[in-house]
Amino acid sequence: MSRTRTALLAALALVAGTAGAAVAAIPSDVGAAAVPCTVDYKVQNQWDSGFTAAVTVTNNSAAKSSWAVKWSYAGNQKITSGWNAKLSQSGTEVTAANESYNGTMAAGSSVSFGFNGTYSGTNALPTTFTLDGVTCNVDDGGGGPTDPPDPTGPKVDNPYSGAKVYVNPEWSAKARAETGGSRIANQPTGVWLDRIVAINGVNGGMGLRAHLDAALEQKGSDELVVQLVIYNLPGRDCAALASNGELGPTEIDKYKTQYIDPIAAILADSKYAGLRIVTTVEIDSLPNLVTNTGSRPTAVPACDTMKANGNYVKGVGYALNKLGAIPNVYNYVDAGHHGWIGWDDNFGASADTFKQAATAEGATVDDVHGFITNTANYSALKENNFTINDNVAGKSVRESKWVDWNRYLDELSFAQAFRDKLVSVGFKSDIGMLIDTSRNGWGGTARPAGPGPQTSVDTYVDGGRYDRRLNTGNWCNQSGAGLGERPQAAPATGIDAYVWMKPPGESDGSSSAIPNDEGKGFDRMCDPTYEGNPRNNNNMSGALPNSPLSGHWFSAQFQELMKNAYPAL
């Protein structure tokens, strides 16, 4: 299936020197100091009524702490949206001023920004630019394309098809250091950007640019997918204290300008244009607005707050808009898992909420390439020993305590059905699904070989189910879990890939309170002695003991996942 975009936006990153930017040639008889600034204005994409432009400005004079670039159009061009600059227009006059994060321009450095616009007739290039009122020397060699490029851009229907997937060197080293870990150390996993400081690297670790540079090395002459987890919403994970984040419920502007904007600027660097960048957008956020609010017994005040202030919807919409504007970025929105939104009263309402977020803050459904289920969860990929339509002793499988009236038994059936539902509410018909299989193998000695006894519907289901959790609502460091299907492209109808977005061996949360500067609280669902709450039908938590903070390495869990892997290692 082809993927058609009515408008593709392209941007360039804030860069030092001339990296990633085309800078005007200076005549040999003129010293560099005599040219105060140079401008490269390029039309990167053009169609019948619109265009995308990228502008790079190089400052050859004294350092600046703020800047403003101005130009005029000869035609009827109108700027409709932009990135990496505050753009305003009065008639034909355009002003692009710095954002809070890119106001500094050292002597000899460049700043790049981009925008989307409309036009009719001809789309003549501006001829004169000023930087802070001083006329710049314009590079007229960039120009617009003689023949407008294909507006579908470089996006492919399934980014995983025919591509390698990035192996995170930091995770790989931790896996390899474990006894037996070399068996899976070369598997691709997601890179989690779970704090603002993660963009530049935490405690000397790899930042986003370092990962993308490493990905270019791994890519060689092949196609390569890089998997990023966008995970820092205001009031993050309102129903799970272990994964709370650094931003308070009202800090939506900080999320936009200090988190999403810098990420978008890096991803849009032309240096990385040859990578297929898959973003998993905001794990465990939007479903909370459906299941954990209002008068439901599972309601949480913090989730009511996030529904009332709209910042989950705004944040996801903003992320989709900014990241979806980059031609080689593929956005996949987190869609929970079957044990969360597989029930009738959650299924349709969740699809509607996703549509609301996908059309907020300038985003459109064109900014959504697909959805991902089961991220950081444990639901079995496929239950083979019984079906949702089975009846035992006069009762439907849906009446069993385990299924509890859910419409789905496993992630594959849920993901395929939910994809159809999403299309029905207005998402593109060619969206694809990802399923995280990093921890849902449920192999080992406890894996049933066939159905349970037909004494009752409960013995039948409990005896045959692969998923050995006490309840599908249990989510933290589950005892008995194993590695699942290895990452692979196009494994089933409607499924773009099985992925390991959650790196095996990284904890879901600490089993006791641990002081930290990461904004992460202590959630009793990570305490093996906890007797539960309405969200897991008051079952024991099933969590492993002695676990560290979420995201930190948990050797005991890694060993258990390998031991219980299915397919076996």
> What residues does each domain of the chain span?
32-139, 163-382+407-441+476-563
Q: Quick: pLDDT tens for 372-412.
A: 999 989 999 999 999 999 999 999 999 999 999 999 999 99
Would you state the pLDDT for residue 423? 97
pLDDT of res. 188: 98
Contacts of 296 (CB under 8 A, 6+ apart): none
How many angstroms separate the CA atoms of 137 and 130, rounded? 9
Strand-pair partners of 45: 52
pLDDT at 31 over 60: no
Percentage of residues in the chain having pLDDT higher than 70? 91
pLDDT of residue 49: 81
d(CA 454, CA 22): 72
Q: With 60 as the cut, is the pLDDT of residue 485 above it? A: yes
Q: How far, in Å, CA of 200 to CA of 217, rounded?
A: 19
Residue 24 has pLDDT above 50, yes or no: no
User: Burial of 27 by CB count in 10 Å (0-12 exposed, 13-18 middle, 19+ buried)?
Assistant: exposed
pLDDT at 138: 57
Quote the tokens at residue 419. 């994809």
Burial class of residue 210 in the structure, from the number of CB atoms within 10 Å of its CB (0-12 exposed, 13-18 middle, 19+ buried): middle
From 53-67, 159-173, 437-451, the region with the lowest mean pLDDT: 53-67
Please choose, from the candidates 131, 537, 497, 548, the residue with its C-alpha nearest in 3D space to the C-alpha of residue 330: 497
Task: Indicate the range of 37-46, 136-145, 495-504 predicted with least confidence.
Answer: 136-145
pLDDT band at 34 (very low <50, low <70, confident <90, very high): low
**What fold is seen in the domain 32-139?**
Immunoglobulin-like (2.60.40)
| Residue 269 predicted with pLDDT over 70 | yes
Per-residue model confidence as pLDDT tens digits over 326-363? 999 999 999 999 999 999 999 999 999 999 999 999 99
Please state whether 114 falls in left (phi above 0), alpha (psi between -120 and 50) or beta.
beta
Taking alpha carbons only, the member of 412, 440, 503 closest to residue 166 is: 503
Write out the catalytic residue numbers.
284, 508
User: Is the predicted pLDDT of residue 7 greater than 80, yes or no?
Assistant: no
Residue 462 has pLDDT above 80, yes or no: yes
Note the pLDDT tens digit of each residue in 46-74: 777 888 888 889 998 888 999 999 999 98
Mean of pLDDT values over 132-161: 64
If you count DSSP H runs as helices and E runs as strands, how many of each does the chain have, helices first? 12, 21
Torsion of CA 78, 79, 80, 83, to 10 degrees: 180
Q: What DSSP string runs through 30-77?
A: S-GGG--EEEEEEEEEE-SSEEEEEEEEEE-SS-BSS-EEEEE-SS--
Q: What is the CATH number of domain 163-382+407-441+476-563?
A: 3.20.20.40
pLDDT tens string 98-120:
988 888 888 888 888 888 889 88
Residue 27, pLDDT > 60, answer no
Average pLDDT over residues 451-459: 96
Lowest mean pLDDT among 144-148, 381-385, 407-411, 547-551: 144-148
